[in-house]
Structure 1
């Protein structure tokens, strides 16, 4: 919280990546709602891969699961529309519980959904879904990005679980598993 800028915050994440991975593992110990149970298993495997030193594999698996969560729970929306829906200023009318348990955690995916066209621009160095999948390189698949990926996957798993629980006020697409 005392880091002066985004780069300083990223350095802290990198310096504490092992602790963060253990925190992600702890956050995923509790059972989750049956609609996300299968993907939660994959998130746990991504965290375990990270802890075992397989950062590239952890990042790739976590990114694929996050993408699957988004495609399922924002059924039919493109990535631009997803970013718009996940941006917090679009959530002002949500109940406070929903804001803290679902909207804010899911809003962490906005940076993950950054647009990048490989034929128009050089590969950016920041962590993103699009670059991880379509611009795979050692510059993109690395320990820091893997840490961000498992953090995002664990966060999305817990947010979706919270909203799917009884009394969680799940939006229609989330409650139906995106159907």
Structure 2
């Protein structure tokens, strides 16, 4: 008898987005909601230094090579400034460090204490704006996209809102994927507490039923019922996506063709928080067809949780992955859904 499996997402009809559901639009680059504030705090103070703008691009490029953090394009038309911002956009990792590098580079031009203080204020403001795009657990760490991509896309580890900062730092410092997976297994109690805390802060009325089920996952996991917790978390994740995303967007965000053609989830195709939240969701939707003889994976997957129940798939560590995914997605919707 053939085993049943989920239909290939590509076979689903992709229709118009339902306006009554959340639609998270494609954007190019990072999402920073206060562009007018960036102009006021970062661009206007530079105007007295028009004669220095040609030098800024060269200094910015040299400093950016030491850092790897993407900043958004800012469409202002000041001679020489656009090139500097473009150079900063793709490579700048730490705006606080960048502040110091630029200040040193421009020392011959900003010798007075007044000018130096102004430069510090400008770049400190930019650094604070950049930190604002991160959820609370990443705000002080401010990891670069290149650093996060390996964990989010290649290993399916949720990083948005959960786990806590110390665990995120340990994951970033770990030497390889196997070490990171072991670390999650070792810290499962603390990560479960982190998820419970984030779920407790989900306040949107339309998310309360899902939040209650997610807290049931927490309780089941703590009580030693990891298999039951994983099954609930996997199905809850699917239910949340079905309810709050249009079919077109849900298919787009979960279409994982990596096994077929090597295509990966593209972080730069969506708003920053959307991309980083859904990259591990995409990873969890790797194709799995038992009727075709696919081996049951040991890493958490939505499809094998439904159609490959076994000791390979069901484990406490996979339950923790599933709980982190549910907590992260619920918190994203809590911040995005209209009230």
Return structure 1 stretches of 4+ with deviation > 3 angstroms: 77-80, 84-87
Residues 87 and 110 of structure 1 are in contact (CA less than 8 Å); yes or no, is this contact kept in structure 2? Answer: no
Equivalent residue number for residue 138 of structure 1? 311
1:81 aligned partner:
252
Distance 2:319 2:198 in 1: 17
Superposed displacement of residue 90, structure 1 = 1.9
Cα shift at 1:89: 3.0
Structure 1 segments unaligned to the other structure (5+ residues): 167-179
| Count of aligned pairs between the two proteins | 159
State whether structure 2 residue 292 is matched by structure 1 residue 113.
no
What TM-score results when the alignment is normalised by the length of structure 1?
Answer: 0.80
Q: CA deviation at 1:83?
A: 2.5
Contact 1:74 1:82 in 2 (8 A): no
Offset at residue 50 of structure 1 (A): 0.7
Find the structure with the greater CA-based Rg. 2
Query: 1:63–1:132: 8 Å Cα contact kept in structure 2?
Result: yes
Whole-Å Cα distance in 2 between the matches of residues 73 and 23 of structure 1? 24
Deviations along 1:34-67, whole A, 9 cap, x unmatched?
1221111100111111111111111111111111
Gaps of 5+ in 2: 1-171, 257-264
Counterpart-to-counterpart distance in 2, 1:75 and 1:31: 21
Is 1:90 the counterpart of 2:269? The answer is yes
- Normalising by structure 2, we get a TM-score of 0.44
Cα distance in 2, alignment partners of residues 79 and 8 from structure 1: 31
- 1:8 corresponds in structure 2 to 179
How large is the Cα RMSD of the aligned pairs? 2.1
- Please say if 1:28 is aligned against 2:199: yes
| CA drift at 1:31 | 4.2
Residue 80 (structure 1) shift:
5.4
Give the match for residue 69 of structure 1. Answer: 240
Question: What SS class does the counterpart of residue 35 from structure 1 fall into?
Answer: helix
Which digits, 9 at most, give the CA deviation of each residue in 1:110-168, with x for residues without a partner? 111111111122222221000000111122111110111111111111111111155xx
User: Partners in 1 of 2:319 and 2:215 — Cα distance?
Assistant: 13
Does residue 39 (structure 1) correspond to residue 210 (structure 2)? The answer is yes
Cα distance in 2 for residues equivalent to 1:78 and 1:118 = 26
- CA gap of 1:156–1:123, structure 2 versus 1, over 3 A, is same
The structure showing larger relative contact order (alpha-carbon pairs under 8 Å, at least 6 residues apart) is 1
